[in-house]
Copies of this chain bind each other. A is one copy, B any other.
Amino acid sequence: MPRLRLALAQVDTVVGDLAANVARVRAAVAEAAAAGADLVALPEMCLTGYPVEDLALRPSFVAASQAAVRQLADAVAADGHGEVVVVVGYLDQDVDAAGQDVHRTGRPSLASQNCAAVVHRGEVVARYAKNHLPNAGVFDEQRIFTPGTHGQRVNVRGVDVAVLVCEDLWRDGGVTAQLAEAEHDPGLVLVLNASPYEQGKHRVRYELCRSRAAETGCTVAYVNLVGGQDELVFDGQSLVVAPDGEVLAQAPQFAEHVLVLDLDLPTGATEAGPGRLYDRVTLDAPTRPEPPDRLRPPPVEPVEECEEVYRALVLGLRDYARKNGFADVVLGLSGGIDSALVATLAVDALGAGHVHTVAMPTRYSSEHSLADAADLAARQGTQHRVVAVQPMVDAFVQGLDLTGLAEENVQARVRGVVLMGISNSEGQLVLAPGNKSELATGYSTIYGDAVGGFGPIKDVPKTLVWRLARWRNADAESRGEQPPIPVSSIDKPPSAELAPGQVDSDSLPDYELLDAVVDGYVVGDLGHADLVAGGAEVAVVDRVVRLVDRAEWKRRQYPLGTKISAKAFGRDRRLPVTNRWVEPAALD
Protein backbone atom coordinates (compact mmCIF):
# COMPACT_ATOMS: atom_id res chain seq x y z
CA MET A 1 0.00 0.00 0.00
CA PRO A 2 1.33 3.45 -0.86
CA ARG A 3 1.78 5.78 2.07
CA LEU A 4 0.24 9.19 1.48
CA ARG A 5 0.92 12.19 3.70
CA LEU A 6 -2.37 14.08 3.84
CA ALA A 7 -2.94 17.59 5.18
CA LEU A 8 -6.39 18.94 5.99
CA ALA A 9 -6.12 22.72 6.28
CA GLN A 10 -9.11 24.30 8.05
CA VAL A 11 -8.83 28.02 7.37
CA ASP A 12 -10.92 31.08 8.26
CA THR A 13 -11.44 33.08 5.06
CA VAL A 14 -13.64 36.11 4.39
CA VAL A 15 -16.51 36.30 1.92
CA GLY A 16 -15.48 38.45 -1.02
CA ASP A 17 -11.87 39.13 -0.02
CA LEU A 18 -10.38 36.94 -2.71
CA ALA A 19 -6.85 38.33 -2.57
CA ALA A 20 -6.62 37.76 1.19
CA ASN A 21 -8.17 34.33 0.84
CA VAL A 22 -5.63 33.30 -1.80
CA ALA A 23 -2.89 34.48 0.56
CA ARG A 24 -4.40 32.53 3.46
CA VAL A 25 -4.66 29.33 1.44
CA ARG A 26 -1.14 29.81 0.07
CA ALA A 27 0.21 30.06 3.62
CA ALA A 28 -1.68 26.93 4.64
CA VAL A 29 -0.26 25.05 1.65
CA ALA A 30 3.24 26.21 2.61
CA GLU A 31 2.68 24.94 6.15
CA ALA A 32 1.49 21.58 4.81
CA ALA A 33 4.39 21.40 2.37
CA ALA A 34 6.85 22.11 5.17
CA ALA A 35 5.34 19.14 6.99
CA GLY A 36 6.01 16.98 3.93
CA ALA A 37 2.41 16.63 2.72
CA ASP A 38 1.76 14.99 -0.64
CA LEU A 39 -1.84 16.17 -0.74
CA VAL A 40 -3.43 19.14 0.98
CA ALA A 41 -7.18 19.71 1.09
CA LEU A 42 -8.92 22.97 1.91
CA PRO A 43 -12.59 23.66 2.67
CA GLU A 44 -15.55 24.16 0.36
CA MET A 45 -15.46 27.55 -1.39
CA CYS A 46 -12.76 28.84 0.92
CA LEU A 47 -11.28 30.96 -1.89
CA THR A 48 -14.48 33.03 -2.13
CA GLY A 49 -15.59 32.59 1.47
CA TYR A 50 -18.83 30.82 2.23
CA PRO A 51 -21.76 31.26 1.84
CA VAL A 52 -21.58 33.83 -0.93
CA GLU A 53 -25.37 33.88 -1.47
CA ASP A 54 -26.42 35.85 -4.58
CA LEU A 55 -22.84 36.96 -5.29
CA ALA A 56 -22.74 33.62 -7.12
CA LEU A 57 -25.13 35.11 -9.68
CA ARG A 58 -22.82 38.02 -10.55
CA PRO A 59 -20.57 37.39 -13.57
CA SER A 60 -17.82 39.69 -12.26
CA PHE A 61 -17.61 37.69 -9.04
CA VAL A 62 -17.47 34.33 -10.80
CA ALA A 63 -14.70 35.64 -13.04
CA ALA A 64 -12.76 36.84 -10.00
CA SER A 65 -13.04 33.40 -8.38
CA GLN A 66 -11.80 31.73 -11.56
CA ALA A 67 -8.86 34.12 -11.58
CA ALA A 68 -8.19 33.47 -7.89
CA VAL A 69 -7.69 29.76 -8.35
CA ARG A 70 -5.21 30.44 -11.18
CA GLN A 71 -3.40 32.93 -8.94
CA LEU A 72 -3.22 30.30 -6.24
CA ALA A 73 -1.76 27.76 -8.66
CA ASP A 74 0.91 30.24 -9.73
CA ALA A 75 1.69 31.25 -6.16
CA VAL A 76 2.05 27.69 -4.87
CA ALA A 77 4.39 26.87 -7.74
CA ALA A 78 6.35 30.08 -7.16
CA ASP A 79 6.76 29.05 -3.53
CA GLY A 80 8.38 25.82 -4.69
CA HIS A 81 5.45 23.64 -3.66
CA GLY A 82 4.29 22.71 -7.14
CA GLU A 83 4.64 18.98 -6.41
CA VAL A 84 2.09 19.18 -3.62
CA VAL A 85 -1.38 18.31 -4.85
CA VAL A 86 -3.81 20.97 -3.62
CA VAL A 87 -7.56 20.41 -3.59
CA VAL A 88 -9.39 23.65 -2.88
CA GLY A 89 -12.99 24.86 -2.95
CA TYR A 90 -13.99 27.84 -5.11
CA LEU A 91 -16.73 29.17 -7.40
CA ASP A 92 -16.73 28.38 -11.11
CA GLN A 93 -19.25 28.01 -13.91
CA ASP A 94 -20.10 25.55 -16.67
CA VAL A 95 -17.65 22.99 -15.28
CA ASP A 96 -20.00 20.05 -15.53
CA ALA A 97 -23.65 20.79 -16.10
CA ALA A 98 -25.16 18.72 -18.86
CA GLY A 99 -28.90 18.94 -19.31
CA GLN A 100 -29.71 21.30 -16.47
CA ASP A 101 -32.87 23.34 -16.28
CA VAL A 102 -32.34 26.93 -17.19
CA HIS A 103 -33.46 29.53 -14.66
CA ARG A 104 -36.39 31.44 -15.99
CA THR A 105 -36.18 34.67 -14.09
CA GLY A 106 -34.63 36.80 -16.78
CA ARG A 107 -31.29 36.83 -15.03
CA PRO A 108 -28.29 35.78 -17.03
CA SER A 109 -28.09 32.05 -16.59
CA LEU A 110 -24.55 31.64 -15.38
CA ALA A 111 -24.59 27.97 -14.45
CA SER A 112 -22.48 28.88 -11.43
CA GLN A 113 -21.13 25.84 -9.64
CA ASN A 114 -19.77 25.06 -6.21
CA CYS A 115 -16.43 23.56 -7.24
CA ALA A 116 -13.23 21.90 -6.14
CA ALA A 117 -10.07 22.56 -8.14
CA VAL A 118 -7.13 20.17 -8.15
CA VAL A 119 -3.92 22.17 -8.45
CA HIS A 120 -0.57 20.57 -9.35
CA ARG A 121 2.66 21.97 -10.76
CA GLY A 122 1.16 25.40 -11.29
CA GLU A 123 -1.87 24.16 -13.21
CA VAL A 124 -5.50 23.41 -12.46
CA VAL A 125 -5.44 19.78 -13.52
CA ALA A 126 -9.01 18.84 -12.64
CA ARG A 127 -12.24 20.49 -11.58
CA TYR A 128 -15.20 18.94 -9.81
CA ALA A 129 -18.67 20.47 -9.43
CA LYS A 130 -20.73 19.53 -6.35
CA ASN A 131 -23.40 17.09 -7.44
CA HIS A 132 -25.90 17.49 -4.62
CA LEU A 133 -27.07 20.96 -3.58
CA PRO A 134 -28.67 21.51 -0.16
CA ASN A 135 -31.71 23.77 -0.20
CA ALA A 136 -33.13 23.49 3.30
CA GLY A 137 -32.43 25.17 6.63
CA VAL A 138 -29.84 27.88 6.08
CA PHE A 139 -28.91 26.65 2.60
CA ASP A 140 -30.14 28.08 -0.71
CA GLU A 141 -27.79 26.25 -3.05
CA GLN A 142 -30.40 25.27 -5.62
CA ARG A 143 -31.07 28.99 -5.99
CA ILE A 144 -27.53 29.92 -6.91
CA PHE A 145 -25.75 26.82 -8.23
CA THR A 146 -26.18 24.33 -11.02
CA PRO A 147 -25.39 20.79 -9.87
CA GLY A 148 -22.51 18.86 -11.39
CA THR A 149 -23.26 15.50 -12.94
CA HIS A 150 -19.98 13.58 -12.79
CA GLY A 151 -17.59 12.39 -10.14
CA GLN A 152 -13.89 13.22 -10.14
CA ARG A 153 -10.94 11.08 -9.12
CA VAL A 154 -7.33 12.11 -8.84
CA ASN A 155 -4.60 9.50 -8.72
CA VAL A 156 -1.89 10.65 -6.32
CA ARG A 157 1.11 8.37 -5.82
CA GLY A 158 -0.94 5.46 -7.07
CA VAL A 159 -3.92 6.15 -4.81
CA ASP A 160 -7.25 7.05 -6.41
CA VAL A 161 -8.69 9.99 -4.45
CA ALA A 162 -12.41 10.65 -5.02
CA VAL A 163 -13.22 14.33 -4.52
CA LEU A 164 -16.60 15.30 -3.04
CA VAL A 165 -18.08 18.52 -1.69
CA CYS A 166 -20.14 18.58 1.54
CA GLU A 167 -23.76 17.62 0.68
CA ASP A 168 -22.41 14.93 -1.68
CA LEU A 169 -21.53 13.00 1.48
CA TRP A 170 -24.92 13.50 3.14
CA ARG A 171 -27.22 12.40 0.34
CA ASP A 172 -28.34 8.78 0.38
CA GLY A 173 -28.29 7.09 -2.98
CA GLY A 174 -26.14 9.78 -4.56
CA VAL A 175 -22.45 10.13 -5.23
CA THR A 176 -21.35 7.89 -2.35
CA ALA A 177 -23.63 5.12 -3.59
CA GLN A 178 -21.93 5.43 -6.99
CA LEU A 179 -18.58 5.08 -5.25
CA ALA A 180 -19.80 2.00 -3.39
CA GLU A 181 -21.05 0.44 -6.62
CA ALA A 182 -18.05 1.41 -8.77
CA GLU A 183 -15.99 -1.35 -10.33
CA HIS A 184 -12.85 0.07 -8.75
CA ASP A 185 -12.95 1.47 -5.22
CA PRO A 186 -11.11 4.71 -4.68
CA GLY A 187 -8.34 4.60 -2.12
CA LEU A 188 -9.56 7.71 -0.30
CA VAL A 189 -12.77 9.74 -0.22
CA LEU A 190 -11.82 13.38 0.24
CA VAL A 191 -14.64 15.77 1.17
CA LEU A 192 -14.39 19.57 1.18
CA ASN A 193 -16.92 21.09 3.56
CA ALA A 194 -18.44 24.28 4.87
CA SER A 195 -20.60 22.73 7.53
CA PRO A 196 -21.97 25.21 10.07
CA TYR A 197 -21.87 24.57 13.78
CA GLU A 198 -24.88 23.33 15.69
CA GLN A 199 -24.84 22.00 19.23
CA GLY A 200 -23.50 18.46 19.16
CA LYS A 201 -23.16 18.40 15.37
CA HIS A 202 -19.68 16.84 15.55
CA ARG A 203 -21.34 13.60 16.63
CA VAL A 204 -23.62 13.73 13.61
CA ARG A 205 -20.66 14.40 11.33
CA TYR A 206 -18.66 11.55 12.80
CA GLU A 207 -21.61 9.16 12.34
CA LEU A 208 -21.95 10.35 8.74
CA CYS A 209 -18.26 9.79 7.97
CA ARG A 210 -18.33 6.42 9.70
CA SER A 211 -21.36 5.21 7.73
CA ARG A 212 -19.95 6.44 4.39
CA ALA A 213 -16.58 4.86 5.14
CA ALA A 214 -18.42 1.58 5.76
CA GLU A 215 -20.63 2.01 2.67
CA THR A 216 -17.71 2.69 0.33
CA GLY A 217 -15.08 0.62 2.10
CA CYS A 218 -12.78 3.67 1.97
CA THR A 219 -11.06 5.98 4.38
CA VAL A 220 -12.98 9.27 4.51
CA ALA A 221 -11.11 12.56 4.99
CA TYR A 222 -13.36 15.46 5.95
CA VAL A 223 -11.99 19.03 5.93
CA ASN A 224 -14.25 21.74 7.30
CA LEU A 225 -14.23 25.53 7.17
CA VAL A 226 -13.68 27.54 10.32
CA GLY A 227 -14.86 31.02 11.27
CA GLY A 228 -17.94 33.21 11.57
CA GLN A 229 -19.98 34.51 8.65
CA ASP A 230 -23.13 36.48 9.50
CA GLU A 231 -25.48 34.00 11.21
CA LEU A 232 -23.21 31.03 10.80
CA VAL A 233 -20.12 29.88 12.59
CA PHE A 234 -18.06 27.08 11.05
CA ASP A 235 -16.32 25.00 13.64
CA GLY A 236 -13.59 23.19 11.75
CA GLN A 237 -12.98 19.93 13.58
CA SER A 238 -11.81 18.27 10.38
CA LEU A 239 -11.47 14.51 10.73
CA VAL A 240 -10.29 11.32 9.07
CA VAL A 241 -12.22 8.08 9.57
CA ALA A 242 -11.03 4.61 8.57
CA PRO A 243 -13.35 2.06 6.88
CA ASP A 244 -13.84 0.37 10.24
CA GLY A 245 -14.99 3.62 11.86
CA GLU A 246 -11.78 4.43 13.71
CA VAL A 247 -11.03 8.15 14.00
CA LEU A 248 -7.50 8.37 12.58
CA ALA A 249 -7.14 12.09 13.22
CA GLN A 250 -9.16 15.10 14.25
CA ALA A 251 -8.46 18.83 14.20
CA PRO A 252 -9.51 21.23 16.98
CA GLN A 253 -12.83 23.05 17.00
CA PHE A 254 -13.22 26.81 16.36
CA ALA A 255 -9.58 27.38 15.39
CA GLU A 256 -7.54 27.41 12.22
CA HIS A 257 -5.36 24.32 11.94
CA VAL A 258 -3.38 22.24 9.46
CA LEU A 259 -3.90 18.58 10.36
CA VAL A 260 -1.17 16.33 8.90
CA LEU A 261 -1.15 12.54 8.97
CA ASP A 262 0.12 9.53 7.05
CA LEU A 263 -2.31 7.09 5.50
CA ASP A 264 -1.47 3.71 4.02
CA LEU A 265 -4.03 3.37 1.27
CA PRO A 266 -4.88 0.81 -1.40
CA THR A 267 -3.65 1.38 -4.93
CA GLY A 268 -6.24 2.59 -7.42
CA ALA A 269 -7.10 0.91 -10.69
CA THR A 270 -4.76 2.07 -13.41
CA GLU A 271 -7.59 2.28 -15.91
CA ALA A 272 -11.31 2.80 -15.41
CA GLY A 273 -13.73 1.05 -17.74
CA PRO A 274 -16.14 2.69 -20.15
CA GLY A 275 -19.48 3.98 -18.90
CA ARG A 276 -18.01 5.15 -15.59
CA LEU A 277 -19.69 8.11 -13.91
CA TYR A 278 -16.49 9.92 -13.07
CA ASP A 279 -13.54 11.62 -14.68
CA ARG A 280 -10.04 10.65 -13.64
CA VAL A 281 -6.65 12.27 -13.80
CA THR A 282 -3.32 10.65 -12.88
CA LEU A 283 -0.65 12.92 -11.47
CA ASP A 284 3.07 12.29 -11.71
CA ALA A 285 5.05 12.47 -8.51
CA PRO A 286 8.79 12.43 -7.94
CA THR A 287 10.02 9.46 -5.94
CA ARG A 288 10.70 10.24 -2.33
CA PRO A 289 11.71 8.08 0.63
CA GLU A 290 8.73 6.63 2.50
CA PRO A 291 8.33 8.51 5.77
CA PRO A 292 10.02 6.23 8.32
CA ASP A 293 7.40 6.53 11.07
CA ARG A 294 3.77 6.86 10.31
CA LEU A 295 2.75 10.40 11.34
CA ARG A 296 -0.34 10.45 13.54
CA PRO A 297 -1.44 13.62 15.31
CA PRO A 298 -2.47 13.36 18.96
CA PRO A 299 -6.17 12.85 19.70
CA VAL A 300 -8.32 15.88 20.49
CA GLU A 301 -10.01 15.94 23.87
CA PRO A 302 -13.82 16.24 23.73
CA VAL A 303 -15.25 19.52 24.99
CA GLU A 304 -18.11 19.94 27.47
CA GLU A 305 -21.43 21.17 25.97
CA CYS A 306 -21.40 24.63 27.57
CA GLU A 307 -17.80 25.24 26.61
CA GLU A 308 -18.52 24.27 23.02
CA VAL A 309 -21.46 26.67 22.74
CA TYR A 310 -19.54 29.41 24.49
CA ARG A 311 -16.61 29.10 22.11
CA ALA A 312 -18.96 29.11 19.12
CA LEU A 313 -20.47 32.38 20.36
CA VAL A 314 -17.06 33.94 20.96
CA LEU A 315 -15.85 33.05 17.46
CA GLY A 316 -19.11 34.18 15.83
CA LEU A 317 -18.89 37.57 17.55
CA ARG A 318 -15.15 38.01 17.02
CA ASP A 319 -15.36 37.23 13.31
CA TYR A 320 -18.45 39.39 12.75
CA ALA A 321 -16.66 42.36 14.31
CA ARG A 322 -13.29 41.73 12.68
CA LYS A 323 -14.59 40.95 9.20
CA ASN A 324 -16.83 44.02 9.26
CA GLY A 325 -14.02 46.29 10.35
CA PHE A 326 -14.92 46.87 14.00
CA ALA A 327 -12.27 46.69 16.70
CA ASP A 328 -14.66 47.87 19.43
CA VAL A 329 -18.18 47.10 20.57
CA VAL A 330 -20.61 48.98 22.80
CA LEU A 331 -23.55 47.63 24.75
CA GLY A 332 -25.89 48.58 27.53
CA LEU A 333 -25.34 46.87 30.89
CA SER A 334 -28.57 46.47 32.81
CA GLY A 335 -27.19 44.41 35.65
CA GLY A 336 -29.19 41.48 34.32
CA ILE A 337 -27.89 38.18 33.02
CA ASP A 338 -28.30 38.72 29.26
CA SER A 339 -26.18 41.83 28.95
CA ALA A 340 -23.72 40.37 31.48
CA LEU A 341 -23.19 37.30 29.32
CA VAL A 342 -22.92 39.36 26.12
CA ALA A 343 -20.33 41.64 27.74
CA THR A 344 -18.34 38.62 28.90
CA LEU A 345 -18.44 37.05 25.45
CA ALA A 346 -17.30 40.36 23.98
CA VAL A 347 -14.38 40.64 26.40
CA ASP A 348 -13.34 37.08 25.56
CA ALA A 349 -13.68 37.81 21.84
CA LEU A 350 -12.11 41.26 21.62
CA GLY A 351 -10.40 42.10 24.91
CA ALA A 352 -11.71 44.29 27.71
CA GLY A 353 -10.13 47.40 26.25
CA HIS A 354 -12.37 47.09 23.21
CA VAL A 355 -15.62 46.55 25.08
CA HIS A 356 -17.57 49.70 26.00
CA THR A 357 -20.33 49.19 28.53
CA VAL A 358 -22.98 51.74 29.36
CA ALA A 359 -25.31 51.74 32.37
CA MET A 360 -28.44 53.79 31.64
CA PRO A 361 -30.54 53.93 34.79
CA THR A 362 -34.07 55.34 34.92
CA ARG A 363 -36.31 55.84 37.91
CA TYR A 364 -37.35 52.17 37.71
CA SER A 365 -33.80 50.85 37.84
CA SER A 366 -33.02 49.15 41.12
CA GLU A 367 -29.96 49.84 43.25
CA HIS A 368 -28.65 46.35 42.63
CA SER A 369 -28.87 46.82 38.85
CA LEU A 370 -26.45 49.70 38.81
CA ALA A 371 -24.23 47.96 41.35
CA ASP A 372 -24.18 44.67 39.43
CA ALA A 373 -23.35 46.49 36.19
CA ALA A 374 -20.51 48.35 37.86
CA ASP A 375 -19.32 45.13 39.48
CA LEU A 376 -19.16 43.32 36.13
CA ALA A 377 -17.33 46.23 34.51
CA ALA A 378 -14.83 46.29 37.37
CA ARG A 379 -14.26 42.52 37.31
CA GLN A 380 -13.61 42.50 33.58
CA GLY A 381 -12.10 45.95 33.09
CA THR A 382 -14.51 47.12 30.39
CA GLN A 383 -14.65 50.75 29.32
CA HIS A 384 -17.61 51.63 31.51
CA ARG A 385 -19.74 54.75 31.72
CA VAL A 386 -23.06 55.74 33.26
CA VAL A 387 -25.50 57.85 31.27
CA ALA A 388 -28.50 59.18 33.16
CA VAL A 389 -31.35 58.79 30.70
CA GLN A 390 -34.28 59.90 32.87
CA PRO A 391 -34.19 63.46 31.46
CA MET A 392 -34.50 62.10 27.93
CA VAL A 393 -37.26 59.71 28.96
CA ASP A 394 -39.09 62.57 30.67
CA ALA A 395 -38.91 64.70 27.52
CA PHE A 396 -40.87 61.99 25.66
CA VAL A 397 -43.23 60.99 28.44
CA GLN A 398 -44.21 64.59 29.09
CA GLY A 399 -44.18 65.70 25.44
CA LEU A 400 -46.37 62.79 24.34
CA ASP A 401 -48.22 62.08 27.59
CA LEU A 402 -47.21 58.41 27.51
CA THR A 403 -48.35 55.81 30.03
CA GLY A 404 -48.28 52.04 30.44
CA LEU A 405 -46.61 50.01 27.72
CA ALA A 406 -45.79 53.11 25.69
CA GLU A 407 -43.92 54.56 28.67
CA GLU A 408 -42.11 51.26 29.24
CA ASN A 409 -41.02 51.06 25.63
CA VAL A 410 -39.81 54.66 25.55
CA GLN A 411 -37.24 53.87 28.23
CA ALA A 412 -35.82 51.03 26.16
CA ARG A 413 -35.86 53.19 23.02
CA VAL A 414 -34.09 56.07 24.70
CA ARG A 415 -31.35 53.62 25.64
CA GLY A 416 -31.21 52.50 22.03
CA VAL A 417 -30.81 56.10 20.85
CA VAL A 418 -28.04 56.63 23.41
CA LEU A 419 -26.12 53.56 22.27
CA MET A 420 -26.49 54.54 18.62
CA GLY A 421 -25.38 58.08 19.47
CA ILE A 422 -22.25 56.74 21.15
CA SER A 423 -21.64 54.41 18.22
CA ASN A 424 -22.10 57.24 15.70
CA SER A 425 -19.66 59.40 17.67
CA GLU A 426 -17.05 56.78 18.53
CA GLY A 427 -17.43 54.06 15.91
CA GLN A 428 -18.16 50.90 17.93
CA LEU A 429 -20.39 48.06 16.80
CA VAL A 430 -23.56 48.04 18.94
CA LEU A 431 -24.42 44.64 20.43
CA ALA A 432 -28.03 43.64 21.10
CA PRO A 433 -28.44 41.49 24.23
CA GLY A 434 -31.63 39.59 23.28
CA ASN A 435 -31.79 35.84 23.85
CA LYS A 436 -33.80 33.26 21.91
CA SER A 437 -36.62 33.07 24.46
CA GLU A 438 -37.07 36.83 24.11
CA LEU A 439 -36.89 36.72 20.31
CA ALA A 440 -39.40 33.90 20.29
CA THR A 441 -41.97 35.63 22.43
CA GLY A 442 -41.33 39.20 21.31
CA TYR A 443 -40.48 40.12 24.90
CA SER A 444 -38.28 43.01 23.87
CA THR A 445 -38.69 46.55 22.58
CA ILE A 446 -38.13 46.99 18.87
CA TYR A 447 -35.80 49.98 18.28
CA GLY A 448 -35.01 49.72 21.99
CA ASP A 449 -33.05 46.82 23.43
CA ALA A 450 -33.29 45.27 19.93
CA VAL A 451 -30.95 47.96 18.56
CA GLY A 452 -27.63 46.69 17.27
CA GLY A 453 -25.47 45.44 14.45
CA PHE A 454 -25.10 41.99 15.97
CA GLY A 455 -27.00 39.92 18.54
CA PRO A 456 -24.49 37.43 19.97
CA ILE A 457 -26.95 35.35 22.04
CA LYS A 458 -29.92 35.59 19.70
CA ASP A 459 -30.08 31.79 19.35
CA VAL A 460 -29.43 31.02 23.04
CA PRO A 461 -32.54 30.18 25.11
CA LYS A 462 -32.71 31.90 28.51
CA THR A 463 -32.15 28.66 30.41
CA LEU A 464 -28.95 28.11 28.43
CA VAL A 465 -27.94 31.74 29.07
CA TRP A 466 -27.88 30.94 32.78
CA ARG A 467 -26.01 27.68 32.23
CA LEU A 468 -23.38 29.40 30.09
CA ALA A 469 -22.89 32.12 32.70
CA ARG A 470 -22.47 29.55 35.45
CA TRP A 471 -20.09 27.48 33.31
CA ARG A 472 -18.00 30.56 32.49
CA ASN A 473 -17.71 31.49 36.16
CA ALA A 474 -16.86 27.93 37.19
CA ASP A 475 -14.29 27.66 34.39
CA ALA A 476 -12.62 30.84 35.65
CA GLU A 477 -12.62 29.51 39.20
CA SER A 478 -11.10 26.22 38.06
CA ARG A 479 -8.18 28.26 36.68
CA GLY A 480 -7.90 30.24 39.91
CA GLU A 481 -9.35 33.37 38.31
CA GLN A 482 -12.08 35.66 39.59
CA PRO A 483 -15.47 34.69 38.13
CA PRO A 484 -16.26 37.39 35.54
CA ILE A 485 -20.03 37.56 36.13
CA PRO A 486 -21.51 38.80 39.44
CA VAL A 487 -23.43 35.97 41.05
CA SER A 488 -26.38 38.24 41.77
CA SER A 489 -26.79 38.88 38.02
CA ILE A 490 -27.22 35.13 37.62
CA ASP A 491 -29.36 34.47 40.65
CA LYS A 492 -31.84 37.34 40.73
CA PRO A 493 -35.27 37.04 39.12
CA PRO A 494 -35.05 38.42 35.59
CA SER A 495 -36.69 41.80 35.04
CA ALA A 496 -36.82 44.39 32.28
CA GLU A 497 -37.16 47.08 35.02
CA LEU A 498 -39.40 49.26 32.87
CA ALA A 499 -42.14 49.57 35.50
CA PRO A 500 -42.18 49.42 39.32
CA GLY A 501 -41.50 45.93 40.65
CA GLN A 502 -41.73 44.38 37.19
CA VAL A 503 -40.38 40.84 36.70
CA ASP A 504 -40.41 38.67 33.57
CA SER A 505 -42.68 36.13 35.22
CA ASP A 506 -45.48 38.75 35.20
CA SER A 507 -45.61 38.38 31.42
CA LEU A 508 -44.09 35.03 30.56
CA PRO A 509 -44.32 31.44 31.78
CA ASP A 510 -41.44 30.06 33.79
CA TYR A 511 -38.43 29.92 31.47
CA GLU A 512 -37.97 26.16 31.83
CA LEU A 513 -41.52 25.64 30.53
CA LEU A 514 -41.22 28.40 27.96
CA ASP A 515 -37.96 27.13 26.47
CA ALA A 516 -39.29 23.60 26.17
CA VAL A 517 -42.31 24.80 24.16
CA VAL A 518 -40.18 27.15 22.04
CA ASP A 519 -37.84 24.29 21.23
CA GLY A 520 -40.69 22.01 20.19
CA TYR A 521 -42.56 24.65 18.23
CA VAL A 522 -39.69 26.51 16.59
CA VAL A 523 -37.01 23.87 16.19
CA GLY A 524 -39.28 20.84 15.93
CA ASP A 525 -42.16 22.33 13.88
CA LEU A 526 -44.52 20.55 16.27
CA GLY A 527 -48.21 21.42 16.31
CA HIS A 528 -50.32 22.08 19.38
CA ALA A 529 -51.30 18.44 19.93
CA ASP A 530 -47.70 17.23 19.78
CA LEU A 531 -46.53 19.96 22.15
CA VAL A 532 -49.16 18.95 24.69
CA ALA A 533 -48.37 15.28 24.14
CA GLY A 534 -44.74 16.21 24.90
CA GLY A 535 -45.78 17.21 28.41
CA ALA A 536 -46.51 20.94 28.24
CA GLU A 537 -49.66 22.38 29.77
CA VAL A 538 -52.34 23.43 27.29
CA ALA A 539 -52.44 26.97 28.68
CA VAL A 540 -48.67 27.36 28.34
CA VAL A 541 -48.72 26.01 24.79
CA ASP A 542 -51.57 28.35 23.83
CA ARG A 543 -49.76 31.33 25.24
CA VAL A 544 -46.30 30.60 23.89
CA VAL A 545 -47.47 29.66 20.41
CA ARG A 546 -49.54 32.85 20.18
CA LEU A 547 -46.60 34.97 21.34
CA VAL A 548 -44.21 33.33 18.88
CA ASP A 549 -46.60 33.81 15.96
CA ARG A 550 -47.21 37.47 16.76
CA ALA A 551 -43.56 38.41 17.10
CA GLU A 552 -42.49 37.56 13.56
CA TRP A 553 -42.44 41.21 12.44
CA LYS A 554 -40.09 42.15 15.26
CA ARG A 555 -37.74 39.28 14.48
CA ARG A 556 -37.48 40.41 10.87
CA GLN A 557 -35.91 43.66 12.01
CA TYR A 558 -33.61 42.09 14.59
CA PRO A 559 -29.85 42.07 13.98
CA LEU A 560 -27.98 38.98 12.86
CA GLY A 561 -26.63 36.63 15.50
CA THR A 562 -24.79 33.33 15.71
CA LYS A 563 -26.78 30.15 15.08
CA ILE A 564 -26.08 27.40 17.59
CA SER A 565 -29.28 25.35 17.47
CA ALA A 566 -30.78 23.06 14.87
CA LYS A 567 -33.08 25.91 13.86
CA ALA A 568 -32.28 29.55 14.56
CA PHE A 569 -34.46 32.58 13.89
CA GLY A 570 -33.29 34.07 10.61
CA ARG A 571 -32.67 32.38 7.29
CA ASP A 572 -33.14 29.03 8.98
CA ARG A 573 -36.85 29.61 9.71
CA ARG A 574 -38.82 31.47 7.07
CA LEU A 575 -42.35 32.35 7.97
CA PRO A 576 -44.61 35.07 6.66
CA VAL A 577 -45.30 38.13 8.79
CA THR A 578 -48.82 38.35 7.41
CA ASN A 579 -50.05 35.06 8.78
CA ARG A 580 -53.37 34.27 10.44
CA TRP A 581 -52.58 30.62 11.01
CA VAL A 582 -53.36 29.59 14.57
CA GLU A 583 -52.23 26.17 15.67
CA PRO A 584 -55.44 24.22 16.33
CA ALA A 585 -55.75 23.29 20.00
CA ALA A 586 -55.45 19.63 20.85
CA LEU A 587 -58.81 17.95 21.31
CA ASP A 588 -59.36 16.06 24.53
Contact = CB atoms under 8 A, between A and B. Distances in A.
Interface of A: 14-18, 20, 51-55, 57-61, 64, 101-108, 132, 134-137, 140, 142-143, 167, 170-173, 228-230, 319-320, 323-324, 387-389, 391-392, 394-396, 399-400, 402-403, 405-406, 409-410, 413-414, 416-418, 420-422, 424-425, 446-447, 451, 453, 525, 527-530, 553, 556-560, 566, 573-584
* Nearest 3 CB-CB pairings of A with B: A16-B581, A60-B527, A406-B424
A391 B399 contact: yes
Contacts of A60: 527-530, 583-584
Given A103-B136, A388-B399, A392-B396, A230 B59 contact: no
B140 A574 contact: yes
A576 B136 contact: no
B143 A58 contact: no
Given A14-B580, A136-B107, A399-B388, A574 B422 contact: no
B58 A525 contact: yes
Contacts of A578: 14-15, 228-230, 319-320, 323-324
Contacts of A525: 54, 57-59, 107-108
A102 B172 contact: yes
Contacts of A320: 578
A328 to B, nearest CB: 16
Given A64-B584, A402-B425, 12 more contacts: A15-B576, A17-B581, A59-B527, A104-B134, A135-B142, A140-B574, A324-B553, A409-B420, A413-B420, A420-B446, A420-B447, A557-B559
A105 B136 contact: yes
Contacts of A417: 396, 410, 413-414, 417, 447
A229 B576 contact: yes
A424 B409 contact: yes
B421 A400 contact: yes
A380 to B, nearest CB: 24
A256 to B, nearest CB: 17
Nearest to A414: B417
13 contacts: A16-B576, A51-B576, A53-B575, A55-B581, A64-B584, A101-B132, A101-B171, A104-B134, A143-B574, A391-B395, A394-B395, A406-B421, A409-B421
Contacts of A399: 387-389, 391-392, 418
Contacts of A400: 387, 418, 421-422, 425
A55 B573 CA distance: 10
A527 B51 CA distance: 20
Given A60-B528, A525-B107, A576 B52 contact: yes
Residue of A57, A420, A424, A560 with highest tally of chain B CB at under 10 A: A424
A46 to B, nearest CB: 14
A416 to B, nearest CB: 6
Contacts of A51: 576
A406 B427 CA distance: 10
A230 B424 CA distance: 32
A409 B425 CA distance: 10
A410 B424 CA distance: 10
Nearest to A410: B421
A142 B60 CA distance: 27
B581 A560 contact: no
A396 to B, nearest CB: 6
Contacts of A579: 15-16, 55
A558 B559 CA distance: 10
Contacts of A54: 525, 573-575
Contacts of A142: 135, 142
A64 B580 CA distance: 13
A576 B230 CA distance: 7
B105 A137 contact: yes
Contacts of A228: 578
A548 to B, nearest CB: 12
Nearest to A143: B135
A576 B392 contact: no
A577 B560 contact: yes
Residue of A55, A409, A447 with highest tally of chain B CB at under 10 A: A447
A446 to B, nearest CB: 8
Contacts of A55: 575-576, 579, 581
A566 B108 CA distance: 13
Contacts of A556: 559-560
Nearest to A571: B574
Contacts of A580: 14-17, 20, 323
B557 A558 contact: yes
